[in-house]
Chains A and B, each alone.
Chain A
């Protein structure tokens, strides 16, 4: 078992280096020059010498191999370098935007699970009844609806409903205050994107809960408990739910990747100053250092989650391990 764990963990390092090489290469293959974008996107005249000075300042005139080594070595040291667009440290830029993304993500997951687990359980218990049908339709709709479209509809609804109810349209605040400074204002800003992102997560969790519950409910020990005459509710809470939730928990890890994707578009729709939007901006501006750092963080998180999940599976099913 230990050999397997070590082998699996060692696999993480070449994966990270591989991802680093991939992002490094891809970014530099994309045609474009951050210095030109920075100086020229206004449409005015700019000096060619300014572009060259900019290149020198950003280290873009060094050989590719040196740039790559700098990047990878910096990553393993925890030093992500300076953002090419703004000149400020990458971690500083990310840290400034991290709180709001984290808050939305956490709220989305919490709200999603609060809705999904009870509904999924209900759906499994009342399988094939009208309630089951309605819940299944809602969950599939959650998977099918593009999250940014949902966001647009949300905003429209808020504006029109508030206008009809209060006479003048109400809009969530457009500048962010941390939750400890002004909880009401903060929540009024974050709840709508959280709902938008959370709908999809809740849909997936709902379905997984339902199918896991269905499987567990067919198990022999549930039949035995019923035969013993136990109250249904105790059966569900004490026996069924715990076993059914294991795949759901692992699902949360995998869904994290989709969450990040959902964040990217949702932050665009609601104009939130979060990591997702920073990501889109840095890709469009061709800010190599920032994009590389963000991609590495996402990849590292994903690889870590997968490693944990793999180890969990190996622990559960000894056949999967390869010695």
Chain B
């Protein structure tokens, strides 16, 4: 019997499914096997408890052992609006006017000790994050103020009920630290996960040598067929930049997942040619300049506006991009997000005027008006080279062009934070580094301390709070965007509470035999290594 059209269509359908299931990295078929050796640019994480810690070292060390509910799409990590399921079966549409999200959980998911993972575990883990019990720490409690309850009505369903509908919920839910723990253990001993590892992720915990390395082996019962490709991984702690570069050069390790400065990338590319592949992306981190509004003359908006008008972001960014990991000029919203300002919109804001001479003349005029010509002050900074010190050095140079004499006051991390919190500085380099791109929550950094505790500008501004409050509740995207523009102009220009420097830039050079990993705008994302394979 001759092959009929129906038969051909079936074959085509099967082929289409097969093509869709293959990783989107290219036409090569992934090879199974091998151990990925990578470096973690930290000394050692304080603990491996994702609910408690906020450092990327915890994620780089232990994310491969755990599953999450939803996450940024590992095949399209640059997208700031695409979220896909990890433990759920499909992304739900919110019901009840956008206030209820119902997730269906996969079946056949097992913890590494063999016990099944059900919706109860998911709900218990999320309750530990959103409403931690007495004596427990959850570092990200404040992200989830919009959540009312989390319940598991049956073993395969988790229901999130919100207090109000907001587009900030899903990005918050995709938090890379929101690991799913076992309910049984959380009930018995909530502190267990501070010292132990038990997850349901693609790799099983195989040993931690304090300060040295962390090892994982393939989880044979992983719920996604065919994954992970690697037999295991070995994460070596190597804080020093020079060591990491040399290790990649000498093939002692294949890569690191944080980001390297441009000079290292150039060096590796020059020496290793096509043995090195480089992926680059804008980074959801930025250095800000925060004047201390309690210190004269920074309580005067004219002086603050002068400070920001002196800075030539447009010409500074390309020059800095050669030596520091910064790159893109942007406003308060991450440059890749739909809510971000366009170049034209930016150029209307102080600090981004296209004509720098005009900008600096205006700055000088404002200083004169405020009686602060030739002002001398100290810029407090953290003792980290990339890019803090480079940015600060550039800023001081820029400010000298309007006659300001600024000296840098560099402090180690502990005293730096103390200085921030005690407000003992004149002007400080500040920073805002978030995981999932969630502009509505991320710009909270610019709100006064009374609303956002990590704001160190020492100011109060009810008008700013009012401007902000409308945004999370606004469901129409165009209107929301306009609100964001108004908020941005108010913060950066009218009141000049804080100002921007170029956004950070993530550069990952790695050995070309590593495949299946795609760079994302944050070094916290996409770290479970499930789709990584070695072409060796």
Co-assembled chains A and B: yes
Binding site for B on A (CB under 8 A): 30-34, 36-50, 53-54, 56-57, 85-88, 92-93, 96-97, 155, 159, 168-171, 173-176, 268, 270-271, 273, 277-278, 281, 284-286
Check A171/B417 contact, CB under 8 A, given A42-B56, A284-B412.
Answer: no
Contacts of A53 in B (CB 8 A): 135-137
Could you say which of B39, B139, B213 contacts A47, with CB atoms under 8 Å apart?
B139
Minimal beta-carbon separation of A42 from chain B (angstroms): 5
Contacts of B444 in A (CB 8 A): 45
Comparing B12-20, B101-109, B233-241, B526-534, the segment that makes contact with chain A is: B233-241
Chain A's closest residue to B435 (CB) is: A44
Chain A's closest residue to B253 (CB) is: A174
Q: B75 within 8 Å of A by Cβ?
A: no
Q: B250 within 8 Å of A by Cβ?
A: yes
Minimal beta-carbon separation of A94 from chain B (angstroms): 10
Inter-subunit contact A281/B43 (CB<8 Å): yes
List 5 A-B residue pairs with CB atoms under 8 Å apart, sorted by A's residue number. A31-B418, A96-B212, A159-B246, A171-B250, A174-B243
Could you say which of B39, B247, B414 contacts A31, with CB atoms under 8 Å apart?
B414
Inter-subunit contact A47/B211 (CB<8 Å): no
Inter-subunit contact B54/A171 (CB<8 Å): no
Check A56/B135 contact, CB under 8 A, given A31-B414, A86-B47, A170-B250.
Answer: yes
Check A284/B54 contact, CB under 8 A, given A42-B433, A48-B453, A171-B252.
Answer: no
Inter-subunit contact B413/A41 (CB<8 Å): yes
Q: How many residues of B contact A (CB 8 A)?
A: 62
Question: In the complex, what distance in Å separates the CA atom of A134 from the CA atom of B224?
Answer: 69
As a 0/1 sequence over residues 249 to 263 of chain B, the CB contacts with chain A under 8 angstroms (1 = contact) are 111110000000000
Binding site for A on B (CB under 8 A): 39, 43-44, 46-47, 52-56, 135-143, 194-195, 209-213, 234, 236-240, 242-243, 246-247, 249-253, 285, 412-415, 417-419, 421-422, 431-435, 441, 444-445, 452-454
Minimal beta-carbon separation of A43 from chain B (angstroms): 3
Contacts of B210 in A (CB 8 A): 86, 88, 92-93, 96-97, 273
Contacts of B414 in A (CB 8 A): 30-34, 37, 284-286
Contacts of A171 in B (CB 8 A): 246-247, 249-250, 252
Inter-subunit contact A32/B55 (CB<8 Å): no
Question: In the complex, what distance in Å separates the CA atom of A27 from the CA atom of B138?
Answer: 27
Inter-subunit contact B418/A32 (CB<8 Å): yes
Inter-subunit contact A169/B246 (CB<8 Å): yes
Minimal beta-carbon separation of A202 from chain B (angstroms): 26
Chain B's closest residue to A280 (CB) is: B43
Inter-subunit contact B249/A46 (CB<8 Å): no
Inter-subunit contact B237/A273 (CB<8 Å): yes
Inter-subunit contact B138/A50 (CB<8 Å): yes
Contacts of A96 in B (CB 8 A): 209-212
Minimal beta-carbon separation of A49 from chain B (angstroms): 7
Inter-subunit contact B252/A43 (CB<8 Å): no
Chain B's closest residue to A94 (CB) is: B210
Other CB < 8 Å A-B pairs besides A45-B452, A48-B453, A53-B137, 4 of them? A47-B141, A49-B141, A171-B246, A271-B238
Minimal beta-carbon separation of A15 from chain B (angstroms): 28
Question: In the complex, what distance in Å separates the CA atom of A85 from the CA atom of B46?
Answer: 5
Inter-subunit contact B137/A50 (CB<8 Å): yes
8 closest A-B pairs by CB: A32-B414, A43-B433, A171-B250, A31-B418, A271-B243, A96-B210, A273-B211, A43-B431
Inter-subunit contact B249/A169 (CB<8 Å): yes
Inter-subunit contact B417/A155 (CB<8 Å): no
Question: In the complex, what distance in Å separates the CA atom of A189 from the CA atom of B249?
Answer: 17
Inter-subunit contact A40/B417 (CB<8 Å): yes
Question: In the complex, what distance in Å separates the CA atom of A42 from the CA atom of B47?
Answer: 14
Contacts of B47 in A (CB 8 A): 86-87
Question: In the complex, what distance in Å separates the CA atom of A71 from the CA atom of B375?
Answer: 48
Could you say which of A46, A48, A87, A176 contacts B140, with CB atoms under 8 Å apart?
A46
Question: In the complex, what distance in Å separates the CA atom of A34 from the CA atom of B142?
Answer: 21
Contacts of B39 in A (CB 8 A): 174
Inter-subunit contact A45/B140 (CB<8 Å): yes
Minimal beta-carbon separation of A192 from chain B (angstroms): 13
Check A46/B139 contact, CB under 8 A, given A97-B211, A176-B212, A278-B211.
Answer: yes
Minimal beta-carbon separation of B98 from chain A (angstroms): 23
Question: In the complex, what distance in Å separates the CA atom of A31 from the CA atom of B418?
Answer: 6
Minimal beta-carbon separation of A153 from chain B (angstroms): 13
Inter-subunit contact B136/A47 (CB<8 Å): no
Inter-subunit contact B54/A44 (CB<8 Å): yes
Question: In the complex, what distance in Å separates the CA atom of A221 from the CA atom of B431?
Answer: 73
Could you say which of A30, A39, A44, A47 contacts B433, with CB atoms under 8 Å apart?
A44
Check A37/B417 contact, CB under 8 A, given A43-B431, A171-B249.
Answer: yes
Minimal beta-carbon separation of B474 from chain A (angstroms): 21
Could you say which of A32, A39, A92 contacts B139, with CB atoms under 8 Å apart?
A39
Inter-subunit contact A271/B239 (CB<8 Å): yes
Question: In the complex, what distance in Å separates the CA atom of A41 from the CA atom of B454?
Answer: 11
Contacts of A47 in B (CB 8 A): 138-142, 453
Chain A's closest residue to B43 (CB) is: A281
